[in-house]
Structure 1
Amino acid sequence: MATAGLHGAAQVVAIDLDENRLELARQVGATAAVNSGHEGWADRVRDLTDGHGVDVAVEAVGIPVTFGMCTAMVRPGGSVANVGVHGAPVQLDLQDLWIQNISISMGLVNTTSLGMLLKLVAAGRLPAEAFVTHRFALDDIGSAYETFGDAARTHAVKVLLSR
């Protein structure tokens, strides 16, 4: 959400089940937020894109249903970027995606853009601090893991440990 506008996206749509994460997405760059737990969420995305679908869909959760959502909402000629870590097989409806000329990219997180991202944070162009929802002393790492592990209840996005 925070970097999409820097790459030229005129509209950035956040989709999530959690209202707290949707609010954070709005704060860091989303121009619209859609709760996928509400009926009609896909229609809302279509309305936001004048019925065409999104240019790029980023799957960042790592579960089959969100990958399917991405392939369903991307416009013909669009791209799906899979950055979520999947622990279960995902169905790929190649016969449908091929005819729509959909590109799919995926891979492990790398550090090739780290230097640029750190410069953007230092220049105040990326709101990195907004993602830190909980702070713990390093000695309290157990509580930090519990908090992050129960993010639905604690509303944890990123947990910061410090000495």
Structure 2
Amino acid sequence: MAEINDLAQKLLELDEDELEAMIGMRSQSQSRSGVSGETDDSLDSLEEDIDTVPKGGLNDFLNAGKDFFAPINAQAYKYLCSDIDKDSELGKALSTVMSDKTTEAAAKVTAFLSPVLVTQFALPQALAVLIGTLIVKKVAKGASDFTCSNWKKSLEGEAAA
């Protein structure tokens, strides 16, 4: 888990567009490799990608990333927040961690979300870490609290856009 924490801290330094472009690149690479399984889904390869995120010409990857992220974000909210409210143990734990309002706290929440995304949505680990990071960035933006009500507002804002 420490490895995911370290990687999540680096990913949290990227802006949302860069994360969505990386998700787009990874998701397209995943679908192209198909059954052959030739794609590198290791966390090490993801860390290498951080340093090579192209700054220009991202529109195709950015759009692919947004298209891939949106339904998973909504499904993850439904899965995680159907049982989470401010009184649940898990809800309290996430809120407590994020109350620190630090990159380390955000990385811990990302590290929590990533295995859930892998097991519940059959995502490759590197893609799950990217998606978990983007969820944390979107949900904690502004209020800096990771709560289901903030997550719901984030989803509503994306639907309006």
Q: Do they fold alike, i.e. is TM over 0.5?
A: no
TM-score (normalizing by structure 1): 0.27
Which protein is richer in strand relative to its size?
Answer: 1
Q: Which has the higher contact order (CA 8 A, sep 6+)?
A: 2
Return the index of the structure with the highest Cα Rg.
Answer: 1
TM-score (normalizing by structure 2): 0.28
Which protein is richer in helix relative to its size?
Answer: 2
